[in-house]
Structure 1
Amino acid sequence: MKNSLTTRRCFYGETYDTLGMTIDSLKYYFFLSLLHNNLTKFGIEIESTVVIADTASGINKSSQMFNTNIDQIGIDRLIYCKRIKKHFNLPINFILMSDLFDSEKINERIRLVESVGNNDPKVIELLSKTVLKNKIKQEQDTGFRYGFEAIATGTLFDIKIGPPREKYYDQAAKIICKKLKLNQLQSIYLTPTFPLAQDFSYFLMHPEIEEYGLTPYKAGSNQMQDFRIILNTTTIENVKHLIEGTHLTTNPNLPNPVLDLLFIADMANNLKNKDDNFPVYKKDIYLNIKKLKDLTINKIDKLLIEIGNI
């Protein structure tokens, strides 16, 4: 048994919608797994967990989630995640948020976090920045319950993996944790999740998405589900169409969702072969756009076929 006083606890949390699991969720599962393996090599005792936020998914329902069994979707997702864990040799655990919250201790923690946060205007301001502007009213109507539960969850861990917009949760958490004399969470933000088959005019018209990306784990984020890869839904033919239709430049500082897909496929291959190295690419990978697209199509096709047979 690991010593609870010396073990470092890492986590990644995600909600979901009714449209299925995105390939972008795999990026977080695989990254967390490689991080776990590498920290273990340094002699660090580590426990890594993916929290499937079934309770949080019911707080801010999108229109397509009404009249659906949100709890059952969460259970089905947990079962599928465990199959992914086994197939790709992932050292991480998967748990439903409802099980994590099944104690008076964590519910008391949530109440404390809400009490402190609701009385601090700066916290409310930061939580307003955690969602796209068109979702702010929805958050306000629930009293930012989603954000407070996310912060309370974070207090149970030491390290968090998340998308770039999570920085606002973490800034709010820092204020709350200081007042409650709780340990500060350390965060690692991965690159934004961008839609496929778009040119740069899309990002000019949606600067918020250029900066933070779509919500990686919600297929219907900003109603862009037709421009994303959804496991066991998006066909191989459509993958090719989406990747080939994505406008790229040789500038490494501009959005490159195709390279992101290549990174996911290469992490999957490394984990399956028990190779703990993170994929690393030379700068010239940006220079030949056709070669990058062809390579990515080939590897993603193989990954999707593999996923479909799990």
Structure 2
Amino acid sequence: MIYKNIKLDELKSILSDGRFVYGALPDIDEILKIIIQKTENKEKIKIFYGETYDLLGITIDSIKYYFFLSQLTGKLQELGAEVEATILVADKAATLNKSSQDKTEELEKEGIRRMEYCQRLKKFLKLPINFVLMSDFFVHNKMAEKIERVKRVADGEREIKELLAKTVLQNRLKQEEKTGFRYGLEEIATGMEFDIKIGPPREKYYDEAAEIISQKLGEKSLNSVYLKPTYPLGQNFAFSLTHPEIEEFGLTPYKAGSNQMQDFRIIIGKTSVEEMKKLIDKTYIPTDPKLPNPISDLDFIAQMAGKTIETLLVELNKI
């Protein structure tokens, strides 16, 4: 019992770490109750993080989510829980908007390349997570009918549409409206297949809409943990003052070209070490932990990479 209490405290510490965690829905205590209940009942805990992509490459910010999900999964397993942790690579969603439809073939190929990279990363670092293409997930789980059920509810609810409108940056809103917020509805339907979601803060609006839909459909509620926003590197203090939307919600972590800020982000295999140094040197680092600080994200990623490799070396020494 003492061991289990220690592990629960460690788990709560991860979920409540203000350096990296922005918040939760409904709250951390409720999520812990569900984890304990499912663990005691020998029920599988299903966790996911979903991301779409563009043609500019994989951001270091995506790696942050992979590491956090791996850390959470490992701690749950230590607690004795059966965990299925999934990262959904949203190849379908990447081609939804009109602006990307003339690049469908390129985006599909990029999705395959992304999966190949993620599988290599998983194998090398022994990450306890699964990478799955959303197109495969949709077929395997017969999602078309479930998405249609969600859509029927959403079509009759103005509040849901208003919440979905808040999930996108203003410069992308018209595109999303033209698709009928299809990506958001697919996200909600997908979330119903899981117990816990990891995502960026802006996705709280998906989850508030999902709660309304779940109640109307008699489905279970989704519990979510939001990591802190992703901010561009190489910016001074004035940037946050002139970009209030980015200050509040950050950039889309998994899309390198979010708000056309790709030159101020670290893209795996593309940004050179010299370019990284320049970006870091030019970045304003606040003393107030509540202010945007992209360097803290890099610190977290470096710490997690170090811990992961250290654990791997310990395991290799046992062979």
1:266 to 281, 290, 303: 303
In structure 2, C-alpha distance between the alignment counterparts of 1:145 and 1:99, rounded to whole Å: 18
Of 277, 283, 289, which aligns to 1:252? 289
* Mapped partners of 1:230, 1:74: distance in 2: 16
CA distance in 2: counterparts of 1:104 and 1:253, whole angstroms:
40
* 1:145-169 CA-partner distances (Å, limit 9, x unpaired): 0100011111110000000001000
Listed one character per residue, the Cα deviations across residues 211-233 of structure 1 (whole Å, up to 9, x for unaligned) are: 11000000000000000000000
| Equivalent in the alignment of 1:33 | 70
- 1:271 to partner: Cα distance: 1.4
CA distance in 2 between counterparts of 1:61 and 1:255 reads 32
Q: 2:197 aligns with which of 160, 185, 198?
A: 160
Distance across 2 between alignment mates of 1:265 and 1:65: 37
Compare 242-251 and 224-233 and name the one that shifted more: 242-251
For 1:165 and 1:67, how far apart are their aligned partners in 2?
26
Q: 3-state SS of the aligned residue for 1:140?
A: helix
Q: Distance in 1 between matches of 2:182 and 2:308?
A: 36
Residue 217 of structure 2 is aligned with which of 146, 156, 180? 180
Distance 1:72 1:262 in 2: 32
Show the counterpart of 1:225: 262
Counterpart check, 1:209 vs 2:220: no
Q: TM-score, normalised by structure 1?
A: 0.85
CA contact (8 A) 1:155 1:183 kept: yes
Distance 1:81 1:63, change over 3 A: same
More helix by share: 2
Instruction: Give, in angstroms, the shift of residue 5 of structure 1.
Output: 7.6
Deviation digits for residues 185-228 of structure 1, max 9, x if unmatched? 11000010000010121111111110110000000000000000
Q: Is the 8 A contact 2:232 2:294 kept in 1?
A: yes
Deviation, structure 1 residue 41: 0.9
Distance 2:310 2:219 in 1: 39
Q: Are the counterparts in 1 of residues 94 and 100 from structure 2 also a CA contact under 8 Å?
A: no
How many matched pairs?
273
> Which residue in 2 is equivalent to 1:71?
108
Q: In structure 1, what is the equivalent of residue 156 of structure 2?
A: 119
In the aligned structure 2, how far is the partner of 1:240 from the partner of 1:61? 36
Q: CA RMSD in A?
A: 1.8
Taking structure 2 as the reference length, the TM-score comes to 0.82
99, 102, 109: which one aligns with 2:146: 109
In the alignment, the residues of structure 1 paired with residue 142 and residue 274 of structure 2 have an alpha-carbon distance, to the nearest angstrom, of 49
CA distance in 1, matches of 2:109, 2:204: 30
Q: 1:245-302 CA distances to partner (integer Å, 9 max, x unpaired)?
A: 0011211111110111010111111112228xxxxxxxxxxxxxxxxxxxxxxxxxxx
Equivalent in the alignment of 1:46? 83
Instruction: Give 5+ residue unaligned stretches, structure 1.
Output: 276-310
Counterpart amino acid of residue 161 in structure 2: I
Whether the 8 Å contact between 2:95 and 2:104 is mirrored in structure 1 is no
Report if the CA contact (8 A) 1:17-1:65 is conserved.
Answer: no
> How far, CA to CA, are the matches of 2:257 and 2:183 in structure 1?
18
Name the % identity: 56
* Distance change in 2, residues 1:146/1:76 (3 Å): same
Establish whether residue 11 from structure 1 lines up as the match of residue 48 from structure 2: yes
1:85 equivalent to 2:107? Answer no
* Residue 192 of structure 2 corresponds to residue 192 of structure 1: no
In structure 1, the residue corresponding to 2:201 is in which secondary structure?
Answer: coil
User: After superposition, where does 1:289-308 map in structure 2 within 5 Å?
Assistant: none
